[in-house]
A and B are shown apart, each in its own frame.
Chain A
Amino acid sequence: MVSIRSISSTPSSLTYHDLPWIVAHREDRCTLCGRCTSVCPTEAIYLAYRRQRMPKLDILQKKRGSEYRTFVGIRQRTDLDHRCIGCGMCSMVCPNEAIGPQVNPNDERARFHSYQKGDAWKRGGRRNDRASLLDQISFNRISMLTDPALDAGRHEFHMNTLLGRVLPPEEYIRRQAKGEWIPPVREIFPFIIGSMSFGALSPNMWLGLLQGVAYCNEVLGIPVVMCTGEGGCPPWVLKSPFLKYIVLQIASGYFGWDEIIRAIPEMQCDPAAIEIKYGQGAKPGDGGLLMWFKVSKLIARLRGVPEGVDLPSPPVHQTLYSIEESVMKMIQTMSMAWNFRVPVYPKISGSTSAKSVLNNLVRNPYASALLIDGIDGGTGAAYNISMDATGHPIASNVRDCYLDLVAQGKQNEIPIFAAGGIGKNGNPVQNGMALIMLGASGVHMGKYIMQSAAGCLGSEKNRCNVCNLGICPKGITSQNPKLYRRLDPDQVAQRVVDVFLGLRTEIKKVMAPLGRSQSLPIGMSDALGISDKDVADRLQIKYIC
């Protein structure tokens, strides 16, 4: 008999039934190879000697009781640091399909113990909410009358978008005649690889993305661009001809900008654009956060910081007095750094105040665009509360801003880009084209690219979400060479190319039945419908049922 006193039962004691994921292990199939335990990123499982009672039913013997056997089994740890995150790497490496995580259908008591060691829970990844308004929007204005639907396979489609400040036509003609400055404009593919920093992503992931992007541009003629996120850019990229496919982000920590500024004289070409991050959809009001696990020697050098320290960027650009002033001065400074040849635009969190920011930009002749990042955006690291409950959905935010520009007749001057939840359930084109028809000029995608191009295991069902800890089992968001060696940059590049070819085909499949081929259908809200009357009214699109 085991005494009660020896049973560990502290307030935070949990059993595996209290955790979000339960490791299901089939002993009869297990060969005890140990691969699962060695691959598990959180060391949630371990091999252990166990005792099993072997009941004896020999009635002729006088001595009653059981015998015991000893065996080696796999068990799940129950402390939060070693909880199963549901990544499923154990089942991926198991030669015998003997193990795998299963969602706990019971109450998760674990969430009541997320405040540990005086801190609140942080995670990387996503919002863990499968609901997507964008998934409900369909394209209904099908050409069936005098305008025949087009052949997506054979017709020629123009789907590129513009990034940059576009002058009013009258002003353009006046400046042309006088030889004055015309703001730089880039013609790009409307689906953009969103800002994921060199630091958040592993070197192999970053290299794979860049290779894929370069291939899309130089071989396939798809002008894809990608954004660096905060954290600079490797010097060899800065001085390479591939810089023109890269949007350099500057954020409140200014990490990596020493390297960038110093590299300007040696740059072979201009970057695609400069993105000034004021906010992020996943964690509005928070700056970037690179946790110490991921500040490796390389990252430390690139960012100009010591190794192994947390790198929390301030929530705002500290050097300036107000956002309005900051936006104005930073846009101007950045424009000047490249002699007004590079578009400079701010990125903000989705917010009810987005329209005010937009109207500030309208009056700033150097502002090139506005990127709004909605609540469904992902991040490398953030507090749970920020990811789960803070922010603004992207659809209505973009729509409001677009209609505001329409009322002023300025919708062609400041392109609005949207981010946050595009492709969260695997429907990037449906989501992206819906936002474009609501008024966005293009969309940024981060999580979807990680999932589709690199096999990120995260999902909206709270799977994995450990990007912040540097233990990414696929090597996507880790700075540990033992982990990121798992990711082959060439294979990532191949997937990037596959993805963008697929996106292009699907965009055609949306545009063709709408009878659109000559330009990206920005603001073509007459094509959209949703079976929710309130949403239809709010977005000023058709209610369908």
Chain B
Amino acid sequence: MCRLAMKTASVPFSPFSVISAMEAMKEGYDGSGLGLLLRGVSFADYKYQTGDPILSGIAHTDAALHRLNAFMEAKGYTLKYDHEFNVQPSLIEATDRHKYLVRVYRLPESFKELSQRQIDERLMLTRLALRADGEKHGGDLTAFSFWPNVAMIKEVGWPLEIGQALGLDDHRITSRVCMAQGRQNTNYGINLYACHPFFIQGIGTMTNGENTAFVPIREYLTGMHYPGYIGYQSDSEVFAHILHYVTRRLELPLQAYKHVITPLKTDELANHPQGAFLKGLRDVCRRMIIDGPNCVMGSLPDETTIMVMDTKKMRPATIGGKPGEWALASEICGVDAMIPERDKSLDFQPMRENTVIVPPSRQEYTIWSQFDQFPLPQAA
């Protein structure tokens, strides 16, 4: 079973504090990998300018690195900063890690004429092109994300060891949001792309448990023929893509996510203030209904973070913290490790109908229930 830990704080912090939460939750997972998503990134060695895209990935060979450089140059991206990890290769299981990439680029001049939506599409297509290039060359180049404010690290092995191997304890890279997942190799082969968090156009999610409705959902998303809806080395990748679909393509409020993946029952909708709309939404999005048990944690471009359960509610994920600093973890000991000094009576474990939302202000979290009025007046 995957273990999930996410921390969001107004003051940037080191990802190592979240990795230590992974260590606290080590019982119950095999520590087969670590996935990290850092949002609101700051570098000790470089003053990052918000808005510049950051490329995260791994160049497994020198040739791949050269191809990457040539490709980015040809596309008009200018390299502004190349983060050098203090790597201790002996702590890393894999031997083909030529260079871990966290690189800041400047957007091409030509992008100035583009709308934000068009830029977002270009950034995604660039990441996909790099991924495709790596896959074409025997997997020698892995691209996790290419997006402003977001850096990602994924590696096979025990999370704490990976953190040490990449020198994350040197605090040279910090963030305001950090998502961490200890991957378990369950039904699918070990593959860096199978490691959570999954990322698409600023949206990142990670999940524990297994989604048994994976294949029909994958078929549905693939059938949309949207360029970013690819991969699916893990059944959990669909959670990220559904969140992307709901919020960016359907342009529905964040609360709609829960209504899509775990809709209310017909008789519950009959008594809901917007039951007719939500019933229709359930029908049209029926192929995206998940079947857990799952806990899904996600973060959005504006640094909002969310946590939802599947309908079976068999996961004990918890949120706790204090104004300005919140921790979300799949087990309560993970929250304890991230924010030990807090009022534990304010901890909350979401039930099947809840969406926990920590807004960017981080002063408090909101518990939104599916039974509440849906925040879309024109839909009523």
By beta carbon, the residue of chain B nearest A415 is: B286
Question: Which residue in B215, B225, B283, B284 is a CB contact (below 8 Å) of A525?
Answer: B215
B224 within 8 A of A: yes
Quick one: given A143-B212, A146-B209, are A411 and B266 in contact (CB under 8 Å)? no
A423 to B: closest C-beta gap in Å: 24
B213 engages A518 (CB within 8 Å): yes
Q: Quick one: CB contact mask for B311-324 with A, threshold 8 Å, 1 for yes? A: 11010000000000
Give the total number of A-B pairs whose CB atoms are below 8 A apart: 113
By beta carbon, the residue of chain B nearest A145 is: B186
23 contacts between A and B (CB under 8 A): A145-B210, A146-B184, A146-B186, A146-B293, A147-B292, A150-B312, A162-B286, A169-B250, A169-B281, A173-B250, A173-B281, A182-B280, A406-B222, A408-B223, A409-B224, A412-B287, A516-B213, A518-B262, A518-B312, A519-B286, A519-B291, A523-B219, A524-B215
B379 engages A147 (CB within 8 Å): no
A406 engages B265 (CB within 8 Å): no
- In order of increasing CB-CB distance, the 6 nearest A-B pairs are A409-B223, A515-B212, A147-B210, A523-B216, A172-B284, A519-B289
Q: Quick one: CB contact mask for B277-298 with A, threshold 8 Å, 1 for yes? A: 1001101111101111100000
Given contacts A162-B283, A526-B214, 10 further A-B pairs with CB under 8 A are A146-B186, A147-B292, A169-B284, A172-B280, A406-B223, A409-B220, A411-B223, A514-B212, A521-B216, A522-B216
B281 engages A406 (CB within 8 Å): no
A513 to B: closest C-beta gap in Å: 10
**Alpha-carbon separation in the docked complex, A147 to B187 (Å):** 11
A410 within 8 A of B: yes
Quick one: given A170-B249, A172-B284, A518-B291, are A145 and B187 in contact (CB under 8 Å)? yes
Question: Which residue in A160, A172, A185, A409 is a CB contact (below 8 Å) of B281?
Answer: A172
B265 neighbours in A (Cβ, 8 Å): 158
**Alpha-carbon separation in the docked complex, A182 to B379 (Å):** 13
B310 within 8 A of A: yes
B216 neighbours in A (Cβ, 8 Å): 521-524
A177 engages B379 (CB within 8 Å): yes
B285 neighbours in A (Cβ, 8 Å): 169
B208 within 8 A of A: yes
B281 neighbours in A (Cβ, 8 Å): 169, 172-173
A146 engages B208 (CB within 8 Å): yes
By beta carbon, the residue of chain A nearest B223 is: A409
Q: Quick one: CB contact mask for A503-535 with B, threshold 8 Å, 1 for yes? A: 000000000001111110111111000000000
**Alpha-carbon separation in the docked complex, A147 to B312 (Å):** 11
**Alpha-carbon separation in the docked complex, A168 to B220 (Å):** 11
B311 to A: closest C-beta gap in Å: 6
Question: Which residue in A146, A173, A518 is a CB contact (below 8 Å) of B310?
Answer: A518
B186 neighbours in A (Cβ, 8 Å): 145-146
Quick one: given A409-B223, A518-B213, are A166 and B286 in contact (CB under 8 Å)? yes
B39 to A: closest C-beta gap in Å: 27
Which parts of A152-209 form the interface with B (CB within 8 Å)? 155, 158, 160, 162, 166-170, 172-173, 176-177, 182, 185, 187
A2 within 8 A of B: no
**Alpha-carbon separation in the docked complex, A167 to B186 (Å):** 36
Which parts of A220-272 form the interface with B (CB within 8 Å)? none
A176 engages B277 (CB within 8 Å): yes
B271 within 8 A of A: no
**Alpha-carbon separation in the docked complex, A501 to B378 (Å):** 41
**Alpha-carbon separation in the docked complex, A267 to B29 (Å):** 61
A167 engages B223 (CB within 8 Å): no
Q: Quick one: CB contact mask for B182-203 with A, threshold 8 Å, 1 for yes? A: 0010110000000000000000
By beta carbon, the residue of chain A nearest B265 is: A158
**Alpha-carbon separation in the docked complex, A417 to B245 (Å):** 28
